[in-house]
Structure 1
Amino acid sequence: MRPRTTRRADKSLRRQELIEATIDSLAKRGFDATTTAVVADGAGLSRGIVNFHFESKEKLLVETLRYLSDEYRTHWRSAVNAAGPDPAARLWALAAADFDRKVCTQRKLAAWGAFWGEAKSRPTYRELCSPNDVEYQNTVADLVRQLVRPGQDYRLLARGLDCMLNGLWHHLMISPREFKREEAWAVARMHLATVFPDHFTDAGPIVPDGRPDGLEGAG
């Protein structure tokens, strides 16, 4: 008999393989054409294994969305925490994280797009992502609040920044040949430098001696 830890590792591996195959199918075929049979074939596993791990297509899709949402949250959180205490450096890192190859690929963007297209008619999807979205928006708002000039409404500026970053992802989704990840990040950098000229140039946050620190980001 194999050790229990090995069985658990195998189960986790199989689940991850099925989730990755679901992302592939959503990206290539879209929501309706993604079936448990297609996912099993894409993962190179028997079709019964999907039902064993997820019971149904809907549960497989929910877990795939949960995986994407948690991965995104973990990614931007790590970037912000690694940037240190300075709010400008943290906001720069948060924006840069959106265009990092770990989360910003055509494959994952297409999968996100498939879920976004279903969110209106499937409240479970909105409920699943809502806590992560609220945390992200609150983080943006708190960082913007620390950077605004007197008299500026930080809530409106934060909402605008959030919409701009979301819009760049949508543009990358619908125009992958004309609009590339590097250009999207350049747009975001210019936006930060224009809206917060006291804190950014398009090369990075401005350090106390007046020079940008060169944290271009977005690997």
Structure 2
Amino acid sequence: MQTFLDLLSVLILISAFILTATKRINSYIKAFQLQSFLLFLATFTLGIYNFTTKGFLDIFILSIIIFVLKVIYIPRLLHNTYNRVAYKVEKDFFINIPSSILICAALVILTYYSLYSLDGALNIHIKFNLVNSLSVVLIGLFFMISRKKAIGQIVGFLVLENGMFTTAMLSAQGMPIIVDLGILVDLLTAVMIMGMLVFKINESFDSINIERLRNLRG
């Protein structure tokens, strides 16, 4: 099981690079959906393991909620937003794609050396998964600040949250389910609010470029 989880953590990190390498807004959503499905597989695997060895169902139930919310519902909300705005391809970035990929690779290397330089009781699998998941957090944060379109920033926030969830699942084998559910409810609320803001920005400026918000200053 551990080897499969290690593989999933690598694939989750690769999906973050795929996201960074694309400029089509629809591809942003698909990359997030793929990453969320990989997170579901990791959580589902841990859920089955916990149920068969300890008799606990909490992580298994959480995996089903992740599938419904992150793999199906939130991507559908994002697709609805995508279909109602004019811009389908992001052509103007704060940082271009080749430079972004190099920066993301540097973030992974920095995370690797930061964690592996620490002395402690963490085993090799936990350190390996921490490198991958914390790198996803940093890449999600970087993606938010490197994109000008509001939908791209929403997806960056979601990827950041996926990285945090992956850290909790693969390194600590989850949190209390009430905490997980609270985070997911907050996430859904945030996505709905941000989606409405995208509509308002698009209606007001006929664009979802956040730089247009500077026009609101008096």
Per the shorter chain, which TM-score range?
0.3 to 0.5
TM-score (normalizing by structure 1): 0.35
Greater share of helix residues, 1 or 2? 2
Instruction: Kindly name which structure, 1 or 2, has the bigger radius of gyration based on alpha carbons.
Output: 1
TM-score (normalizing by structure 2): 0.35
